[in-house]
Amino acid sequence: MKTVLVLIPMDEAGRAQLESAAPGCRFVYRKRGEETGEDVRGASVILGGVDPKRIGASETLELLQISAAGTDAFLRPGVLGPRTVLCNATGAYSKPVAEHALAMTLMLLKNLHLYRDNQKEARWKYRGRERALAECTVAVIGLGDIGKYYARLAKAMGARVIGVKRRPSPCPEYVDRLVLTGQTDEILPEADVVFTVLPQFRETIRFFDRERFEKMKPDAIFINCGRGSAVDEQALYEALSGGRLAAAAIDVTETEPLPPDSPLWSLENLVITPHVAGTSLKSLRESITDLAVRNLAAWAAGEPLVNAVDMTTGYRK
């Protein structure tokens, strides 16, 4: 009898759906982080965020359905064996992360972060010119599911949208111009808002460095809801403190939690949230549960899996 290790929080209805999807399997339910080495080694399927260090290229593991979009931790040598198919949760995070990013965008364009600071000190003070998103050019760096949803929201509010992606494809109707990643430096000087949702891979490490921040408009705003590793934090600090960027908002940092002695905490024109963009909606939990049920049923029936990951690129096939 094959074992399915479930690390995704499940109510009784969710458990019933899973067990109906793979009848004849043994199900083990654990809270994330409470799984034992024996649990992991004995599992044919793992659903949820298992610690990659526990897997050890298991020869038993056939399907790993993670509950996150990022896959970099599972692509390292010695983590997954050749029999294991890795599936991610791409698509489930589109709405919550894009909405969080849009909230950050409007906050910075309207100086709401500064007025909140005023309120704490009981100051009635003008904090500078506000801008309308409808008057902005928005560059979306990483036009995957999250980037597309954000682009739709920005376009619906009247923005001109430039999308940046790895591979050529038809231009969506909500994107005014579509370019490849290699053309990023060409479009940065046009952008009033730069939103990045890049995953973590070798080619994206410190993608936004000093040179790229210098290519942006001095009154541009920068938002990162992808991976903290995509940004050179010292370069971001220098750009914000030196007037090279108007403002920024980040939901991710290179080291999490961000250390208390990081100079980023001191910046008035930077909004920091603690990696919460993708955690806010009931629909997110439902989407991940639905995906787990679908892929478990497909695995049991020997059918193609949803969101299978290309192990050479780390992206969905």
312 located within any domain: no
Q: What is the CATH number of the domain that holds 63?
A: 3.40.50.720
Query: Do residue 43 and residue 62 come from a single domain?
Result: yes
First to last CA, the chain: 30
The alpha-carbon radius of gyration of the chain (Å, integer) is 21
d(CA 317, CA 315): 6
Query: Do residue 238 and residue 110 come from a single domain?
Result: yes
313 located within any domain: no
Query: Do residue 181 and residue 65 come from a single domain?
Result: no
Look at the alpha carbons of 224, 228, 234, 235 in this order and tell me if their dihedral is positive or negative. Answer: negative
Model pLDDT, residue 317: 86
311 located within any domain: no
d(CA 88, CA 109): 33
Query: Do residue 98 and residue 206 come from a single domain?
Result: yes
What pTM, to 2 d.p., does this model score?
0.91
Peptide bond into 257 cis (omega under 30): yes
Structural domain containing residue 88? 3-92+281-301
Model pLDDT, residue 280: 61
> pLDDT, tens digit, for every residue of 216-248?
999 999 999 999 999 999 999 999 999 999 999
Query: Do residue 174 and residue 242 come from a single domain?
Result: yes
Residue 284 Ramachandran class (φ > 0 left, ψ -120 to 50 alpha, else beta): alpha
Query: Do residue 105 and residue 179 come from a single domain?
Result: yes
- Stretch (H or E) spanning 117: helix 112-120
Query: Do residue 104 and residue 169 come from a single domain?
Result: yes
Query: Do residue 88 and residue 100 come from a single domain?
Result: no
> pLDDT, tens digit, for every residue of 249-286?
999 999 999 999 999 999 999 999 999 998 866 778 88
> pLDDT, tens digit, for every residue of 157-175?
999 999 999 999 999 999 9
207 located within any domain: yes
Residues recognised as catalytic: 227, 256, 275
Residues 6+ apart with CB under 8 A from 40: 5, 46, 50, 54, 55, 58, 61
308 located within any domain: no
Per-residue burial over 46-74, b = 16 or more CB atoms within 10 Å of its CB, e = otherwise: bbbebebeebeebeebbbbbbbbbbbeeb
Look at the alpha carbons of 71, 77, 78, 81 in this order and tell me if their dihedral is positive or negative. Answer: positive
307 located within any domain: no
- The residues pairing with 64 across neighbouring beta strands, listed in sequence order, are 46, 86
pLDDT in tens, the chain (317 residues): 999 999 999 999 999 999 999 999 999 999 989 999 999 999 999 999 899 999 999 999 999 999 998 899 999 999 999 999 999 999 999 999 999 999 999 999 999 999 999 999 999 999 999 999 999 999 999 999 999 999 999 999 999 999 999 999 999 999 999 999 999 999 999 999 999 999 998 899 999 999 999 999 999 999 999 999 999 999 999 999 999 999 999 999 999 999 999 999 999 999 999 999 988 667 788 899 999 999 999 999 999 999 999 998 888 88
Q: How many domains does the chain contain in total? A: 2
Query: Do residue 257 and residue 150 come from a single domain?
Result: yes
d(CA 131, CA 300): 53
